[in-house]
Amino acid sequence: MTLAEKIGQMRQINASDGYPPDWLGDELRAGRVGSILNNVDVGMVNEMQRIAVEESRLGIPLLVGRDVIHGFKTVMPIPLGQAATWNPDLIRDGASVAAREAATTGVNWTFAPMIDISRDARWGRIAESLGEDAYLTSELGAAMVRGFQGDDLSESGTIAACAKHFAGYGAAESGRDYATTNIPENELRNVYLPPFQAAVDSGVSSFMTSFSDLDGVPATGNAFLLRQVLRDEWAFDGLVVSDWDSVRQLQIHGLTENDRESAFEAVTAGVDMEMHGDAYANHLESLIEDGRVDIATVDASVANILRIKFRLGLFENPFTDPDSLPPIGDPEALETAEQLALQSVVMLRNEGGALPLSAESMNSVAVIGPLADAPIEQLGTWIFDGDRELSITPMHAIHTLVGHDIDVRYLRAMETSRSHSTEAFDEAVEIASETDAVVLFLGEESILSGEAHSRADISLPGAQAELVRRVRATGKPVIAVILAGRPLTLTDIVDDVDAILFAWHPGTMGGSAIADILFGRQSPSGKLPATFPRMVGQIPIYYNQKNTGKPPSPDTVVHIDDIDAHAPQLSLGMTAFHLDAGYTPLFPFGFGLSYTRFEYRDIEIGSDEIRLGESLLVSAELANVGDVAADEIVQLYVRDLVGSVTRPVRELKGFRRVRLEPGESARIEFTLHTDDLAFVGRDMQRSAEPGEFHVWIGGSSEADLQANFRIVADD
């Protein structure tokens, strides 16, 4: 290969404008393009592949990239919603459907999964994440990789996955997208890096660098991340792509003086391909000629790119025949989307058994709110190709389910979720007063979350809380169904509704899933993948915090309203809490209610002591003591009481989705190896340490069924 052809492989060009075979043809013939993105017209893509393969000197096919984040035409719940299923197999199936549909257009590379640990609900991109926990994100992210890539990357209908954003992007200050991240190396290795290592272990094809810096060095120029950790420690042999124009943005960060220096920093740090930028095209050749960049560096990057093209089978078959793949929106795709939506819904409140609604005992129901019949809004963020015509809205699904048996009275009430107008609220009150129950569809429009859509106030926007209060005053049962791209602060409404279903942005089949849960055809089974704060000032609040030297407890909390006037200046409570919010969240990680009642009993451990390198069996009995068959997500947590570095108060180490009939019980077993209890210590090496441990099994991170064991050192 000539140097120009090598540099060409390192360029990714946005091909979304006009007819790219015309304006991009000469570049393709000259071998100066390695990848295109954002073109999903199969005819255009095939023609660009034809030019690259048949009219360039070397005939190297193109990588064709697209953001296929949570579905293609058939849209699955947002990733954060999928995480609420705690179901790796189903998440794998959803990614597989997305891959098949995207592949019909010639796309062979997606920029997913996003596996940034996200502890700040203000951050718009928490919607794309799998939540706040490294273990859950690792398991579910690896499942997504397997779904996109299948068992053989060269098979029809598979596409290359991309683990992003490497690394620490989810820790952006104040939840502001693109902002600085400051993460000590120990925290980076124990919390933020494990999902990426799990992606490598699952065979992920590519990595994308983060927009943000990391402790002063932007990720796109960070050799510690890209060479030391990714290549040397993890032996990753796929390709690394920059995020959109992030090479040239090194100058804007203040790391470099100009685009030439940005190209130098990025390529030497280990970025193989530049997405939508021309720093490499304009400056790599001169940097090599000047001796600043070794040709071996470029050769290694090109090899990484070509390796993925070979694994995709593009040299044997670069062209796409849509007829060889299942049709868009086929029954399997829609069923997968519906199951993901169904299992993602989290019931946060159900006072007095307000849910499920009974179609047999009701004459009428009011369906009110801006998100009840909004086919595009339920799809969520990053759905460039989502087909709104496939959407089954909650309003449509409720009508279909109840038929003529129940009078369904519908009112939008607000033009958008952000509207401050209360003009229609009198009509909403009138309708509510005339019906047996009210279902309010509230939350955020899809545009309020996602990239560059961070919020400082994460309460219900607009006049929604006022709508709740007005309807509540009718005295009728009020059920809130919330569609949103992030955890919200619900303190303003939680006591004014009888039940809350948190449905995230549930995707194409969200309406059917919600209707089935509302009317008891299915029991809600989702569990929270992220903590819900009482108020935004508690952020960051997450379950696996450190204990501190002054941990809070119920008897040490002092509320601001209980402080006497002119009280002496004392360290009230002497522990870590907020005077106006306490120390507990509104809803904890792992929480979710059901239409039945599950009891956990009789935790057992195989031994009180194990040695390093051994395993321990932990089990408990789960019983369905209610009247409804339902799924429960059984969760296993541990605490390492003493470590060479301080350890979290709890850490998720296992989970299992179990279905039980009424009256049925089962003993649920988990195997813990001492490697599962390893962590990165002061020496930045990962190992398990002898000492005392607590272990819990239960239905949330607040599980109280506990046992104790000890790891003993080898003699």
Which residues are registered as beta bridge partners of 658? 632
pLDDT per residue as tens digits for the range 218-273 = 999 999 999 999 999 999 999 999 999 999 999 999 999 999 999 999 999 999 99
| 655-708 per-position pLDDT tens digit | 999 999 999 999 999 999 999 999 999 999 999 999 999 999 999 999 999 999
Residue written as tokens 């190896």? 673
* Cβ atoms of residues 207 and 237 within 8 Å: no
Report the alpha-carbon distance of residue 207 to residue 201 in Å, rounded. Answer: 13
The mean pLDDT of the chain is 97
Q: Judge whether residue 568 has pLDDT over 90.
A: no
Give the architecture-level CATH label for domain 598-712.
Sandwich (2.60)
Q: Which tokens hold the place of 514? A: 């919600």
Q: Give the tens place of pLDDT for each residue, 377-389.
A: 999 999 999 999 9
List pLDDT tens digits, range 601-631: 999 999 999 999 999 999 999 999 999 999 9
Give the per-residue pLDDT at 157: 97
Tens of pLDDT along 72-95? Answer: 999 999 999 999 999 999 999 999
Put the strands of the sheet holding 162-166 in their side by side order.
Answer: 162-166, 206-209, 239-241
| Confidence at residue 233, expressed as pLDDT on a 0 to 100 scale | 98
The secondary structure of 425-460 as a DSSP string is HHHHHHHHHTSS-EEEEEE--GGGSSTT---S--BP
310 Cβ contact partners less than 8 Å away, ≥ 6 residues apart? none
Has residue 330 got a pLDDT over 90? yes
Please state, in angstroms and rounded to a whole number, the distance separating the CA atoms of residues 642 and 655: 24
**pLDDT at site 571:** 62
213 catalytic residue (yes or no): no
- How many Cα atoms are found within 13 Å in the side-chain-facing hemisphere of 608? 0
Strands 239-241 and 478-483: unpaired
Cα-based distances in Å from 327 to 300, 330, 375:
39, 6, 21
- The edge-to-edge listing of strands for the beta sheet with 705-712 is 609-611, 705-712, 691-698, 630-640, 651-660
Structure tokens given for 259:
């685009």
The residues pairing with 616 across neighbouring beta strands, listed in sequence order, are 672
Polymer length of the chain: 715
Domain borders along the chain are 338-518, 598-712
User: Residue 274 forms beta bridges with which residues?
Assistant: 11
Question: Among residues 622, 632, 628, which one has the least CA distance to residue 595?
Answer: 628
**Range in 334-338, 480-484, 577-581 the model is least confident about:** 577-581
The CATH number of 338-518 is which of 3.30.420.40, 3.20.20.140, 3.40.50.1700, 3.40.50.2300? Answer: 3.40.50.1700
Strand pairing category for 651-660 and 630-640:
antiparallel
Within 13 Å of residue 137, how many CA atoms lie on the same side as its CB?
29
The model's pLDDT over 498-551, given as tens digits with 9 standing for 90+, comes to 999 999 999 999 999 999 999 999 999 999 999 999 999 999 999 999 999 999
Between helices 259-269 and 279-289, what is the axis angle to 10°? 80
Quick one: pLDDT at residue 558? 87
Mean pLDDT of 186-196: 98
Give the model confidence (pLDDT) of 22-76 as tens digits: 999 999 999 999 999 999 999 999 999 999 999 999 999 999 999 999 999 999 9
Phi and psi torsions of 432, nearest 5°: -60, -40
Sorting pLDDT into bands at 50, 70 and 90, what band is 10? very high
Cis peptide preceding 420, ω within 30 of 0 = no
Token pair belonging to 395 = 């309003």
623 phi and psi, to 5 degrees? -125, 135
pLDDT of residue 714: 81
Euclidean distance between CA atoms 111 and 124, whole angstroms: 17
SS3 275: strand
Of the pLDDT bands very low, low, confident and very high (cuts 50, 70, 90), residue 570 is low
The model's confidence at residue 464, banded by pLDDT at 50, 70 and 90, is very high
Residue 153 has pLDDT above 90, yes or no: yes
DSSP string, 187-219: HIIIIISHHHHHHHHTT--EEEE-SSEETTEEG
- 3-state SS class at 311: helix
Give the chain's largest Cα–Cα span. 84
Average pLDDT over residues 96-104: 98
Task: Give the tokens for residue 263.
Answer: 């190209």
User: Look-up: residue for tokens 């050749």?
Assistant: 285
Cα 554 to Cα 460: distance, rounded to the nearest angstrom: 29
Query: What is the Cα–Cα distance from 269 to 250, expressed in whole angstroms?
Result: 12
The token duo for 205 is: 């094809």
Q: Taking a C-beta distance cutoff of 8 angstroms, is the pair 676, 664 a contact?
A: no
Is there a contact between 133 and 182 (Cβ–Cβ < 8 Å)? no
Asked whether residue 326 carries a pLDDT value surpassing 80, the answer given is yes
The answer to whether the beta carbons of residues 421 and 414 sit under 8 Å apart is: yes
Radius of gyration of the chain (CA): 26
pTM (2 decimals)?
A: 0.98
Token pair for 305: 């790119």
Average pLDDT over residues 283-306: 98
Q: State the catalytic residue, choosing from 243, 259, 373, 385.
A: 243
Distance CA 439, CA 479 (A): 5
> 406-425 pLDDT, tens per residue?
999 999 999 999 999 999 99
Task: Answer whether 479's CB lies under 8 Å from 439's CB.
Answer: yes
Cβ neighbours of residue 534 under 8 Å, at least 6 residues apart?
Answer: 489, 491, 581, 582, 584, 585, 586
CA count, 13 A, side-chain hemisphere, 665: 11
Q: What is the pLDDT of residue 567?
A: 79
